Structure 1
Amino acid sequence: MKNVLVLIKDGFADWEASYVTAELNKPGTGYQVKTIATDQSQKTSMGGLNVVPDYSLQDFRYELPFEMLIIPGGTEWKEERNQQIEKLIAFCFSNEIPVAAICDATTYLGKHGFLDHHKHTANSLPYLKEAAPNYQGEERYIDAQSVSDGSLITANGSGAVEFSRDILEKLKVLEGEDLRQWYDLFKVGFVKS
């Protein structure tokens, strides 16, 4: 089984990764979802779900193979205490492991320079520029629900379905007509004929 890591923090936006994690964990995909956090203590999502992380960044061994890092938004991304997270993201970029970030997790990426060289989106360009004063990627910003560029997928907070679609396509879990039908089902409530 191939691992996909979901980075969680207290106050993580549980719904932003729920479409894709449910799809990745289905039998036959070849993937399993594992959670990682700055420490091993239980994290409580915005929706009140309590999750004990599978891995802690305090003792994470980077030789563990994983295919993607998914980073949901949430209430604690504005805090500056998480240097271990920056190290994990830098490791992913330097090893061409895709990173998928949504909502305020994109702001964190912008604050640390990870958006500057890729096409990307976020909650809005003005919000990103205000919340991430070191951000230098304005010419690569795209006003869209989700943007996939190389090893980076970004989405705004209202783009969870598009975000999930882009991840499923990147990991080749669903493609072509199957992916289109999946997207139509979750976006409009039925499959278009």
Structure 2
Amino acid sequence: MEAQTVHLFVLDTMSDWEPGYAIAGINQPVYQRNPGRYVVRTVGPTRDPVRTMGGITILPDVALDELRAEDSAMLILPGAASWDEGAHADAVDKAREFLAAGVPVAAICGATGALARAGMLNDRPHTSNAVEYLNWQDGYTGAEHYAGSPALRDGDLITASGTAPVDFARAIFERLELYAPEALDAWYALYKHNDPAGFYKLVELEQAASA
């Protein structure tokens, strides 16, 4: 089985922590329903290096204008200070293209603000850092659909608060059907609630899979 690609948009000032749980889980086959089903590749505004908020330099695998929805299983848009500066309209256009093609898009923190400015959240359930943050965005009129939860999945669109990387990852895992429900519940118990029972359950599931 050829692996499907999950694309992570990487950009200057990217909030390193926001996609971390998600991409690690996707790229790590342990506990997965179908190990190796997905791989993670980075896509940048161009192929030029970008530098994250944490000072990490990333060389993108592909440029945004090379990315096609039919070649992707999901597009992840992490937060970054540059979203609020009005940058990356082409990435928002790409997200719209993906959703129109039935390919999931997952946006967190500042990326939700960019989608809001483009009017993409006006008619569907969504969340973000706060409704006040979205109300600040020109083009946003969707406050009646704002949920206020840490993360929310509405069909092929996932939105999340920048303070909820674990919930963001869980929503992504659910949409990709990455883990069986029992494994996902254990993963969430461990990483969201620091519950040791989640760790022991994951170990049990790993041992059973390798038996």
The answer on 1:94 being equivalent to 2:130 is no
Conservation of the 8 A alpha-carbon contact between 1:118 and 1:152: no
Equivalent position of 2:204 in the other structure = none
The TM-score with structure 2 as length reference comes to 0.86
Whichever of the two has the greater Rg, that structure is: 2
Residues in 1 aligned to 2:90 and 2:131: alpha-carbon distance in whole angstroms: 26
The answer on 1:109 being equivalent to 2:120 is no
Counterpart residue type for residue 46 of structure 1? M
Query: What are the within-5 Å matches in structure 2 for residues 9-88 of structure 1?
Result: 9-27=11-29, 28-58=35-65, 60-62=66-68, 65-88=71-94
Query: What is the aligned-residue RMSD (CA, Å)?
Result: 1.5
The answer on 1:124 being equivalent to 2:120 is no
Residues in 2 aligned to 1:52 and 1:64: alpha-carbon distance in whole angstroms: 23
Provide structure 1 residue ranges, at least 5 long, that are not aligned to the other structure: none
Q: CA deviation at 1:103?
A: 0.6
Q: CA deviation at 1:63?
A: 6.2
The TM-score with structure 1 as length reference comes to 0.93
Query: SS where residue 6 of structure 1 aligns?
Result: strand
Query: SS where residue 16 of structure 1 aligns?
Result: coil
Query: SS where residue 36 of structure 1 aligns?
Result: strand
User: Structure 1 residue runs of 4+, over 4 Å off?
Assistant: none
**Count, aligned residues:** 191
Counterpart residue type for residue 38 of structure 1? P
Conservation of the 8 A alpha-carbon contact between 1:182 and 1:191: no
Query: SS where residue 87 of structure 1 aligns?
Result: helix
Structure 1 counterpart of 2:157, from 152, 161, 164: 152
Residues in 1 aligned to 2:120 and 2:44: alpha-carbon distance in whole angstroms: 19
Residues in 2 aligned to 1:117 and 1:152: alpha-carbon distance in whole angstroms: 12
% of aligned pairs identical? 34
